[in-house]
Amino acid sequence: MRELVEVLRRPWVQRGVRASVAAGLAWQIAVLLPPTLSDYAYYAPLGAVIAVHPTVADSAGAAWRTVAAMFLGFGLAAGVYELTREVPNAFTIALIVALAIVVEQWRLLREQASWVSFAAVLMITVGTDDPGAYVLRYGGLTLLGAAVGVAVTTVLFPPMMLTVAVDRIAVTRGLVAAHLVDMADAVRGGTVPDPHDWARRGAALSVALDRMRTAETQVERARRANPRAARWQGAADRVREQSRALDRVAVLIDDLTDLVAEFQPHRRGLDRVDDGTGWVLADALSSLALVVRIPYHHGPGRDARDDAVDAAVGSLDRLTQLLRSSEVPDDEGFFALGAVTVGVRRSLHALEAHPRH
């Protein structure tokens, strides 16, 4: 049963269920209409499928933009056809398509703009005998189906897109923590990985961050006009907080990459700031990685996150104290270390990592 629930939480499964239900309902409603419409009932399921999108806001937007684009295409084709009856059909079709492409540049139509030319070609090829009836059948039934699609999306477990966002945050969190641990090991062991290896890791992390940001944006869109938004307010807020916190830590990782791969602290005198500074920096990075891996507390009592936070704060305090007592103002490694120290502090703040007890 639990596995079934997990499958049903997948966005593509939910969309498939909603689209199927919406198409069936749209067909059933259409066949109950008068024969002039029910004979073309298959247009209604088309509108339903068009209108079923990952979020309620996207469904409503796609529905009205698609129908508007269709009616624009129908009207354009009918008007041009009437004005060019005396010219060859090839010229009429070419002119209609050219004008339809111009109309499609209207930004208000967005991704649904291509329906203008599609509807225009349909009208000129099969609907010119009775344009009014064709517009009523095709446009009207598509509009009916789109309304059903929006209604089903709103009522039938309207998606909050939380599952995808949580999964992508988890993937990004793992990459960020692993990156921090690897850099801590490099500083502690006095080794510098190949720059191409760092670039490859950075590229993988950038892709994960982009996907995470996209998922966060989808969650924000899914909250609009969604009857489930209030129920899942806390989960959506946590998605936003975790996404932005990991973004902050990713900025630190960029600085650390420069420090470890380019400054080569074990060769450029970073440890001359004070004996063992590199080790303290490594401890701070390892502790920060552990905080990243444990994003939440598990109750009011002391837990593993408290231990990780205390270790990170302690390492950061030692690193800060070494910087304050240092007298190496012109050392390039010293300035880099100062920037990293500030970055670690800001990362802990973004992760809300502060002692509770």
Domain residue spans in the chain?
2-155, 162-350
Q: How far is CA 14 from the centre of its chain?
A: 18
Q: How does residue 292 score in pLDDT terms, banded at 50, 70 and 90? A: very high
- 321: tokens are 């104290």
Does residue 1 have a pLDDT over 50? yes
Does residue 232 have a pLDDT over 70? no
d(CA 252, CA 255): 5
d(CA 194, CA 185): 14
- 287: tokens are 């502790």
User: Which of 62-71, 225-234, 282-291 is least confident?
Assistant: 225-234
Which of 275 and 113 is assigned the larger pLDDT?
113
Predicted local confidence at residue 289, as pLDDT: 92
Dihedral class, residue 301 (left if φ above 0, else alpha if ψ from -120 to 50, else beta): beta
Closest CA to 215 of 255, 254, 173: 173
Predicted local confidence at residue 5, as pLDDT: 66
Residue pair 56/224 in contact (Cβ under 8 Å)? The answer is yes
Q: For the domain covering 162-350, report its CATH number.
A: 1.20.120
pTM above 0.75, yes or no: no
Other Cβ atoms less than 10 A from the Cβ of 60: the count is 20
Predicted local confidence at residue 148, as pLDDT: 95
Does residue 336 have a pLDDT over 70? no
- 355: tokens are 């002692």
Residue whose structure tokens are 């339809």: 100
Instruction: Quote the percentage of the chain above a pLDDT of 70.
Output: 83
Predicted local confidence at residue 273, as pLDDT: 41
Tens digit of pLDDT for each residue in 176-211?
999 888 888 877 776 666 667 777 777 888 899 999
User: What's the rounded mean pLDDT across residues 148-154?
Assistant: 89
Does residue 262 have a pLDDT over 70? no
Predicted local confidence at residue 165, as pLDDT: 84
